[in-house]
Structure 1
């Protein structure tokens, strides 16, 4: 069957537009969705006692007598916006529920949102506009974007939560003023390719061949580093090396053609979802017969609405650093309850889970700062240094925030397969939380560290851009 890529891309863009709730992208405070129930927000850890609101030190701007202001630097219109809008909206839902229950130390939490469009210069600009207004940044989309403002975070003594799974965040030397969630791009590539290698050898008795296709940024290069390490250790031949070749907006046909011509048994992709689906469709047109492995952020289950839906369900595995919405986990029922109350008509995106994880980290830090009596930005950074580890009710592997790089890096990731039958049964893009819909993904393997990942001597980022 031949697929028309332009039609697929148009369908994907329409799908994203139809399932995204508009988010205020200007600096003034946004109001989280109202809630009308008394369901208790999920508790990943036991809440800590907090002093009276008036007793904590504040600067009177980022935190006042009744409000804590936090910032978001989010890609709401760029290549990852289809997921990031869900991430941000989920945070708003959980902050709204917490505010209904009394907030933190008697203060409500207000979120100031800036749209960066995944543009590096815009990210830096928006950081500058918000930095004196917020106690911390509870979301920062993009590896290079977050790295660009990291020196400013250190100089300004501000904390940020990167919405990027760059392996560098686990390095204490690089991850200053940052707290990550889950594992990283490097480990997910190691784990997924190790799994594909096991399956291929079991079924054929021989080693598979591999093609690599990635972005040229920290995401793509970090993922490629993990994939390349796995290939070297497992004796897998890389028959097409497209590391760093995918530039959004440029012609991807030569890349897809090279992957197809390579005859690789598997192709590992670390790009945005729109580029990924164009490459997959074009390679298929050109006769590619192999299978696909994709990084978590490269896939959107809304893609199942396109003409490639059935093909991807049968020929693609996706790594995931967090559980899909609806997967079995201790915290899942409470998470779904809060999200359904806030957004009954929302499509069940896995991005909603990431929003919850960010909320857990930010709430824990802010509660600790309030307990210590210092809610200034510097006090928030100091409180973060006392958070030794965090767990998320089974929704993601625990994070360890104290120790050397090797002991703090999270190595486990999971593997899922797109489930077209479930997607269709729930109504496709019309599926909603209010109707009980969940993410249309089927588990292949739960959170596991492959032997390669478990034994990997992690001393710093898997990939670092050369300087000078």
Structure 2
């Protein structure tokens, strides 16, 4: 959902933080910060005596519109709950939403409008958008959470990637194919990947994993405007691949799976989180996706049964009746909560300037949402926040449109890999 879709987790919950909205009320009043709401608290852009403004630069009309809608609605739900619990520092948190339609120029114009009056950006959809905004975000010291997971976005104190990155997910996905789907050393595996940072990040992981596992990687790159994957599926079939990695948009993934099935290319698929959307289950390719298509992702599926996820599912479905409940909801709520927690800590520190918000955020070494998944370390911005991936599978009968196949883990194959800025 980077590029999106919505990202990820392993390890140890040493100083875990609970992000229930009940806890949000405690410690976020103005009095706790020493000023009855506006008194002694230092304020920066986006912070008035009554309001803290945060902004979402989303895609509601472009190729990731389904992702953008789910993320935005989940973020609105979180901030509505936070405000109902008292807000932050005696102030209501206002989410301002702008649709860029996955167009870089529109995104730049939207940032020019809302950036100067925002305290943080809990949503920016797309690696190309984030890259285009990066210098401005850094100059403005504005805490920014992309719905994109390219490892090339690492390295900025002000840009927080959540969970794993695309390259780590693909490595963990290859490991799953080796362990569970009978792929052996010497086999050929395909990789359909999108031009740009999303695809290149996933490709870095695929090349690493193939090299370590003794596999031959058959690469097929496509552009964002390509819709028909017939040629790519034909190339994979001719090469004799035994599995296919998928790092494209959901519609492109659907085309690949559909053409592969029609031409007798019956192999397992391991996909990046951005290469699936629940809405595909209602299309003709839906039954095929449920056979042997696996999504490698940082976030637990709603069908996994965690109490936090059950609670969020009920609240979201009550607020947005009839809307899909999928990974975009988990991702949106989580990123909103990350910004919410940073605001609360900044309030407690009596510093709601942009640097105060970023500093409060970067102090979290074991962040948890209460929704499941391993803790995320935000103290080092040149490394992924987590390294463990879930494996899930499309399933029409499951809550959220996917069922859990394998709990989050960092694979043995990934343990020697450094997913760092500049790699």
Task: State the TM-score, normalizing by the size of structure 2.
Answer: 0.88
Of 189, 198, 206, 1:210 maps to 189
2:254 counterpart SS class: helix
Deviation at 1:121, TM superposition (A): 2.0
| 1:243-392 paired onto structure 2 within 5 Å | 244-249=221-226, 251-392=228-369
| Structure 1 counterpart of 2:136 | 152
Residues 394, 317 of structure 1: CA spacing in aligned structure 2 closer, same or farther, 3 A cutoff?
A: same
Residues 388, 302 of structure 1: CA spacing in aligned structure 2 closer, same or farther, 3 A cutoff?
A: same
Q: Are the counterparts in 2 of residues 389 and 402 from structure 1 also a CA contact under 8 Å?
A: no
Separation (CA, whole Å) in 2 of partners of 1:261 and 1:42: 57
Q: Are the counterparts in 1 of residues 54 and 94 from structure 2 also a CA contact under 8 Å?
A: yes
Deviation at 1:156, TM superposition (A): 1.4
Deviation at 1:224, TM superposition (A): 1.1
| TM-superposition CA deviations, 1:181-206 (whole Å, max 9, x none) | 111101100001111012244xx766
Residues 353, 224 of structure 1: CA spacing in aligned structure 2 closer, same or farther, 3 A cutoff?
A: same
| 1:39-54 paired onto structure 2 within 5 Å | 41=21, 49-51=32-34, 52-54=36-38
Of 44, 50, 55, 1:66 maps to 50
Answering whether residue 206 of structure 2 is matched by residue 227 of structure 1, we say yes
Separation (CA, whole Å) in 2 of partners of 1:42 and 1:163: 26
Residues 58, 272 of structure 1: CA spacing in aligned structure 2 closer, same or farther, 3 A cutoff?
A: same
Answering whether residue 379 of structure 2 is matched by residue 402 of structure 1, we say yes
Q: Are the counterparts in 2 of residues 71 and 111 from structure 1 also a CA contact under 8 Å?
A: yes
RMSD after superposition? 2.3
Deviation at 1:361, TM superposition (A): 0.4
Deviation at 1:66, TM superposition (A): 0.9
Separation (CA, whole Å) in 1 of partners of 2:350 and 2:330: 30
Q: Are the counterparts in 1 of residues 156 and 381 from structure 2 also a CA contact under 8 Å?
A: no
Answering whether residue 391 of structure 2 is matched by residue 412 of structure 1, we say no
Answering whether residue 176 of structure 2 is matched by residue 195 of structure 1, we say yes
Specify every segment of 5 or more residues in structure 2 that has no aligned partner in the other structure, as ranges. Answer: 1-19
| Structure 1 counterpart of 2:158 | 177
1:188 counterpart SS class: helix
Q: Are the counterparts in 2 of residues 200 and 207 from structure 1 also a CA contact under 8 Å?
A: no
Separation (CA, whole Å) in 2 of partners of 1:329 and 1:207: 40
Answering whether residue 99 of structure 2 is matched by residue 120 of structure 1, we say no
| TM-superposition CA deviations, 1:195-226 (whole Å, max 9, x none) | 1012244xx76654200101011111101111
Q: How many residues end up aligned between the 2 structures?
A: 399
Q: Are the counterparts in 2 of residues 213 and 267 from structure 1 also a CA contact under 8 Å?
A: yes
Specify every segment of 5 or more residues in structure 1 that has no aligned partner in the other structure, as ranges. Answer: 1-39, 424-437, 463-468
Separation (CA, whole Å) in 1 of partners of 2:67 and 2:56: 15
